[in-house]
Chain A
Amino acid sequence: MSGTSRAALSVDGLGKRFGDRIAFENLTFEIDYGEVFGFLGPNGAGKTTTVRTLGTLIAPTSGSATVAGIPLAPENGVEIRQRIAIMPETPGLYSRLSVAENLECFADLYEVPDPPARIERALRAVNLTDRANDPCGTLSKGLRQRVALARALLSEPEVLFLDEPTAGLDPAASREVHELISTLGQSGVTIFLTTHRLEEAERLCDRVAILNTTLQTIGRPEELRDRLFAKALTVRTAAALSDPDHVLGGQPGVEGWRQDGDGTYVVSVADAAAAAPAITRALVAAGADVLTIAESHHTLEDVYLELIDQDREVSPA
Chain B
Amino acid sequence: MSRRRIRAIVRKEIRTYRRTGSIVWAMAVIPFVFVVQPLISVFSLSSQAAMQLSHRHELLYMLAIPALVPVLLASYAVVGERQDGTLEPVLTTPISREELVLGKALAVFVPSIAVAYLVFGVFLAVVALFAHPGVSSAIIRGPDVLVQVIFTPLIAGWSIWLGIAISTRVNDVRVAQQLSVLAALPTVALTTLISLNVIHPSPQLAIALGVVLLIGNRLGWRFVSSLFDRERLIASVR
B91 at the interface (CB under 8 A from A): yes
Task: Evaluate contact between B92 and A85: CB separation under 8 angstroms.
Answer: yes
In the complex, what residue of chain A is closest to B233 when comparing beta carbons? A57
User: 1/0 contact trace for A100-142 toward B, CB 8 Å?
Assistant: 0100111011110000000000000000000000000000000
Task: Evaluate contact between B235 and A86: CB separation under 8 angstroms.
Answer: no
- Beta-carbon contacts under 8 Å, B66-117 to A: 84-96
A82 at the interface (CB under 8 A from B): yes
| Contact A108 to B88, CB < 8 A, known contacts A52-B234, A58-B235, A96-B15 | no
Task: Evaluate contact between B90 and A109: CB separation under 8 angstroms.
Answer: yes
A55 at the interface (CB under 8 A from B): yes
| Contact A81 to B20, CB < 8 A, known contacts A108-B7, A111-B5 | no
Task: Evaluate contact between A96 and B8: CB separation under 8 angstroms.
Answer: no
- Counting chain B residues whose Cβ lies within 8 A of the other chain, the interface size class is 20 to 34
Task: Evaluate contact between B231 and A110: CB separation under 8 angstroms.
Answer: no
B169 at the interface (CB under 8 A from A): no
B218 at the interface (CB under 8 A from A): no
Task: Evaluate contact between A58 and B231: CB separation under 8 angstroms.
Answer: yes
Task: Evaluate contact between A110 and B92: CB separation under 8 angstroms.
Answer: no
CB-contact partner of B15 in A82, A101, A111, under 8 A: A101
User: 1/0 contact trace for A252-268 toward B, CB 8 Å?
Assistant: 00000000000000000
User: 1/0 contact trace for A44-58 toward B, CB 8 Å?
Assistant: 000001001001011
Task: Evaluate contact between B234 and A151: CB separation under 8 angstroms.
Answer: no
| Cα(A95)–Cα(B94), bound, Å | 22
| Cα(A93)–Cα(B87), bound, Å | 9
Chain B interface, >50% SS class: helix
What are the residues of chain B within 8 A of A97 when measuring CB–CB?
Answer: 12, 15-16, 19
What are the residues of chain A within 8 A of B231 when measuring CB–CB?
Answer: 57-59
A92 at the interface (CB under 8 A from B): yes
Chain A interface, >50% SS class: mixed
| Contact A92 to B89, CB < 8 A, known contacts A57-B230, A108-B4 | yes
The number of chain A residues with a CB under 8 A from chain B is 33
Task: Evaluate contact between A81 and B93: CB separation under 8 angstroms.
Answer: yes
Task: Evaluate contact between A88 and B92: CB separation under 8 angstroms.
Answer: yes
In the complex, what residue of chain A is closest to B100 when comparing beta carbons? A109
| Cα(A109)–Cα(B5), bound, Å | 5
| Contact A111 to B88, CB < 8 A, known contacts A49-B235, A59-B231, A105-B8 | no
Task: Evaluate contact between A78 and B96: CB separation under 8 angstroms.
Answer: yes
Task: Evaluate contact between A81 and B16: CB separation under 8 angstroms.
Answer: no
What are the residues of chain A within 8 A of B2 when measuring CB–CB?
Answer: 111
| Cα(A108)–Cα(B100), bound, Å | 13
Closest 6 CB pairs of A and B: A108-B8, A109-B93, A86-B92, A96-B19, A92-B89, A105-B12
B residues in contact (CB < 8 Å) with A: 2, 4-5, 7-9, 11-12, 15-16, 19-20, 84-96, 230-231, 234-235, 237
Beyond known contacts A96-B19, A101-B15, A109-B90: 10 more, CB 8 A cutoff: A57-B92, A58-B235, A84-B92, A85-B92, A97-B12, A97-B15, A108-B7, A109-B9, A111-B94, A151-B89
